[in-house]
Structures are given as C-alpha cells and as structure tokens.
Chain A
Amino acid sequence: DIQMTQSPSSLSASVGDSVTITCRASQSVSSYLHWYQQKPGKAPKLLIYAASSLQSGVPSRFSGSGSGTDFTLTISSLQPEDFATYYCQQSYSTRTFGQGTKVEIK
C-alpha cells in the first residue's frame, strides 16, 4: 500500500502569510495527487486535483505542484476562512490520505 506523509502536522500563521504544506508518497503516484480542505464538523472540500489543477470555484491563492513522490500545496495570502485542516490523497493505487495538516491562527 502507498503511504502518504504530510508535513508539518500543524502550523501557526497570520492573515496575509504565504503557507506551504508538503506531502510525500512512499512510492510514485505520478500526478494522481489531490488536496482537500476540511473545517470542523464539515465534509472535506476538493481544492486541487491532479497535483496542480485548481478545482472550479476555488480561489486562485491556492496552488499545487509536484509529481512522482513529492508534492506541495501553497496558500499565497492566507485569509481568515483558510484556517482549517488540509489533507493530501493519492488515487494512483486504490486511495490513501495523508494524516492532515492543521493551519491555525498565530
């Protein structure tokens, strides 16, 4: 099974900061990598699919990059509504989620 490891597990940032979250796969997942945002008590929301494609309706301050085993999610200018937990997920071989990264207000 493919394991997904996110770093950091949590981070503190201020409104307006640029934030980067990293996701590493235990073996290549090509571009079969997706990013989600989840707020407490809510279902996850797809932000980025195929490593770098922005899901319809998602603000352009969210971007993704990478291929193979190493991927990043960047939020270019953190907004109050962006404080949430972010997950990466691979769909190259069945599916696996990373453990999540909680973005908190500094």
Chain B
Amino acid sequence: EVKLVESGGGLVQPGGSLRLSCAASGFTVSSNFVSWVRQAPGKGLEWVSVIYSDDTTFYADSVKGRVTISRDNLKNTLYLQMNSLRAEDTAVYYCARDGYYGSGPRGMDVWGQGTTVTVSS
C-alpha cells in the first residue's frame, strides 16, 4: 500500500523550532517529488515546499529562509525543519507525493493524514 504518515507536530512558542517528519511506504521518496502543504484553521490549502529526486528544492515566499526540506533515503522519510516560527505558521501540515521526472503534470496523488502545528505563547 502506498502511504505517507506525518509526525512531529505540536505546540511551540513564537520564535521556536520544530521538525516534521513524513514516513513513506509503498514507494521510494528518493525517486519522486514530495511536497509539504499546509492549511491554517478555517483556511484554504497553501503549498509550502517541494523536494525533487535530484535534491532540487523550492519554497513558498511565506516560509523562505525559515524552513528547510530534506530527505533521508535510507529511512525513506521526508523532513521539514521549521525555525523562527510565527503565529501565522499555525496549521495542519500535509506531505504529498508530487510526481517525478518524466511523469509530466501529475498532481499530488498520495497524501498523509496531516500533523498539527500550533504556534502560541
């Protein structure tokens, strides 16, 4: 079964840090693109970051400089290191499989269940 499972969310004070994990099964993260997408309470979806199979990374302007996406190929796990957290980073964070080189436009076809990050004092 192709699956993604996020973990690492929690309550953190403004200015703090958190590392989210996204464990994959049924496919290899190193051969695919994987994105992080977040959803603030009562709001729409916001793309956060993507990592390609060649380690190319992109970030949304709202998190650039504060967030780092990375991957552990041996653990088949994706990470999102978040620093200098702000109240506006409060959201459910999802990871999603997002295509691969040569797939053409493929969309995000596998999603995790999400992990909740709350930034508050």
Query: Are B94 and A95 in touch, CB under 8 angstroms?
Result: no
Question: Known: A43-B112, A43-B114, A91-B98. Is A33-B46 also a contact (CB below 8 A)?
Answer: no
Question: Known: A94-B47, A96-B47, A97-B44. Is A89-B107 also a contact (CB below 8 A)?
Answer: yes
A20 within 8 A of partner (CB): no
Question: How many chain B residues touch the partner (CB < 8 A)?
Answer: 24
Provide the A54-91 mask, 1 if CB < 8 A to any CB of B, else 0.
01000000000000000000000000000001010101
B33 → A minimal CB distance (Å): 9
Question: Which of B46, B98, B104 makes the CB contact (< 8 A) with A50?
Answer: B104
Query: Are A94 and B58 in touch, CB under 8 angstroms?
Result: yes
B71 → A minimal CB distance (Å): 18
A24 within 8 A of partner (CB): no
Determine the distance from Cα of A31 to Cα of B104 in the docked complex, in whole angstroms: 9
The binding surface of chain B is classed by DSSP as loop
Determine the distance from Cα of A28 to Cα of B44 in the docked complex, in whole angstroms: 22
Query: Are A34 and B46 in touch, CB under 8 angstroms?
Result: no
Provide the B101-121 mask, 1 if CB < 8 A to any CB of A, else 0.
000111111011110000000
B46 contacts across to A, CB distance below 8 A: 97
B47 contacts across to A, CB distance below 8 A: 89, 94-97
Question: B residues engaging A (CB < 8 A)?
Answer: 35, 37, 44-47, 50, 58, 60-61, 94, 96, 98-99, 104-109, 111-114
Question: A residues engaging B (CB < 8 A)?
Answer: 1, 30-34, 36, 38, 43-46, 48-51, 55, 85, 87, 89, 91-92, 94-100
Q: A89-B47, A89-B108, A91-B99 are in contact. List 20 more A-B contacts (CB 8 A).
A: A30-B105, A32-B105, A34-B107, A43-B111, A43-B113, A43-B114, A44-B111, A46-B109, A49-B109, A50-B105, A55-B107, A85-B44, A87-B45, A91-B105, A91-B106, A94-B58, A95-B50, A97-B37, A97-B47, A98-B44
20 contacts between A and B (CB under 8 A): A33-B105, A34-B108, A36-B107, A38-B45, A44-B45, A46-B108, A50-B104, A55-B107, A87-B44, A89-B45, A91-B99, A91-B107, A94-B47, A94-B58, A95-B50, A96-B47, A97-B46, A97-B47, A99-B44, A100-B45
